Chain A
Amino acid sequence: AQKVTQAQTEISVVEKEDVTLDCVYETRDTTYYLFWYKQPPSGELVFLIRRNSFDEQNEISGRYSWNFQKSTSSFNFTITASQVVDSAVYFCALSERKLQRDDKIIFGKGTRLHILP
């Protein structure tokens, strides 16, 4: 069975600090996809990134970066020079790629990030 664990329930940092959100996953499949979503106070889930299990290269997008390590089943998310607008709940998610009709995305419980001015 697949499972996503986000051990950090809530994090507060001062603006301009770097912050890392942890994500650990469990799956029996060798082919799977990992995601990060952002949920601002407005409530909508915003897609940030997708990685497949065969691509362990780290990715950087502006102030955001992601570290995927299969050896530790982790997919951590770092925000560099955080800004107040980064305040939101962040979800890590997993989808096993079984090419079957019931492919679905399973979410972790989320980490609430507060960026203090």
Chain B
Amino acid sequence: EAGVAQSPRYKIIEKRQSVAFWCNPISGHATLYWYQQILGQGPKLLIQFQNNGVVDDSQLPKDRFSAERLKGVDSTLKIQPAKLEDSAVYLCASSLDIMRVPYGYTFGSGTRLTVV
């Protein structure tokens, strides 16, 4: 079974620029999550999708962050404009469906973003 794919692996941008991250979940996984992991901290949930609908985006800074999951498969997370404090690893995870949450997610390798 192929894992969760994320790209790019690394990204360096200047503040006020925009950036986009891509995630391809495991085939058939209905639920997709984006987490932000700042250095030295645990992952923090940004947004959760069930198929192509948003379930929870309460911690997404909507003035600069946006995410979509067209067709309920791949997802894109965008930051525009980026700030220095957005430097972090952005992790994508997927699970079969909401009812499988207790069985844990499968995480991708993440995109390490550095804003200078």
Interface residues of A, Cβ cutoff 8 Å to B: 4, 6, 33, 35, 37, 42-47, 50, 52, 91, 93, 95, 97, 99, 101-110
B110 close to A (CB within 8 Å): yes
Extra pairs beyond A50-B102, A104-B101 (16, CB < 8 Å)? A4-B42, A33-B101, A33-B102, A43-B110, A44-B107, A44-B110, A45-B91, A46-B107, A47-B105, A50-B104, A52-B102, A101-B56, A105-B101, A108-B42, A109-B40, A110-B42
Chain B interface size band reads 20 to 34
Interface residues of B, Cβ cutoff 8 Å to A: 33, 40-45, 48, 50, 55-56, 89, 91, 93, 98-99, 101-110, 112
In-complex Cβ contact of A45 among B43, B45, B48, B55 (8 A): B43
Q: Are B110 and A97 in contact (CB under 8 A)?
A: no
A103 to B98, CA, bound (A): 7
CB-based nearest A residue for B42: A107
A97 to B98, CA, bound (A): 10
List the A side residues contacting B44 at CB < 8 Å: 107
Q: Are A43 and B102 in contact (CB under 8 A)?
A: no
List the B side residues contacting A91 at CB < 8 Å: 42-43
List the A side residues contacting B102 at CB < 8 Å: 33, 50, 52, 95, 97
A95 to B102, CA, bound (A): 7
Q: Are A104 and B104 in contact (CB under 8 A)?
A: no
List the A side residues contacting B33 at CB < 8 Å: 104
List the A side residues contacting B110 at CB < 8 Å: 43-44
Closest CB-CB distance, A92 to chain B, in whole Å?
Answer: 9
Q: Are B89 and A43 in contact (CB under 8 A)?
A: yes
A13 to B98, CA, bound (A): 39
List the B side residues contacting A42 at CB < 8 Å: 109
